[in-house]
Amino acid sequence: MKRLVPVLCLLLASTTVFAQSRPVPAAPIIGATSYLMIDANSGQELAALKPDTPVPPASLTKLMTTYVVFHAIAEGQITLEDEVTISEKAWRMQGSRMFIEVGNRVRVKDLLLGVIVQSGNDASVALAEYVAGSEEVFAQMMNQYAQALGMTSTNFMNATGWPDDNHYSTARDLAILARALIQEFPDHYQWHAIKEFLWGDIKQPNRNRLLWRDDSVDGLKTGHTEAAGYCLVASAERDGMRIITVVLGTASDKARIDGSQAMINYGFRFFETRLLYRAGEEIARARVWKSANEYSPLGVMEDLYITVPRGTYDSLESVRNMPAVIEAPVAAGQPLGEIKVSLNDEVVVQEQLRALDDNPSGSFWQRTVDTVMLWLE
| Active site residues per annotation | 59, 62, 119
> What 3-state DSSP class applies to 376?
helix
The gap between the terminal CA atoms of the chain, to the nearest Å, is 18
Beta strands in the chain, from DSSP E residues, in sequence order:
4-10, 34-39, 45-49, 83-85, 105-107, 196-199, 202-205, 217-225, 229-238, 241-250, 271-277, 284-287, 295-299, 304-309, 317-323, 335-343, 346-355
CB-CB contact of 206 with 43 (8 Å): no
Q: What are the distances in angstroms from CA 230 to CA 176, 213, 224, 250, 275? A: 20, 18, 5, 5, 35
165 contacts: CB under 8 Å, gap ≥ 6: none
Q: How far apart are CA 320 and CA 214, in angstroms?
A: 41
CB-CB contact of 355 with 329 (8 Å): no
DSSP 63-124: HHHHHHHHHHHHTTSS-TT-EEEPPHHHHT--SS---PPTT-EEEHHHHHHHHHTT--HHHH
Residues in the chain: 377
Q: Residue 223 half-sphere exposure, CB side, CA atoms within 13 Å?
A: 30
CB-CB contact of 21 with 271 (8 Å): no
Q: How far apart are CA 215 and CA 283, in angstroms?
A: 37
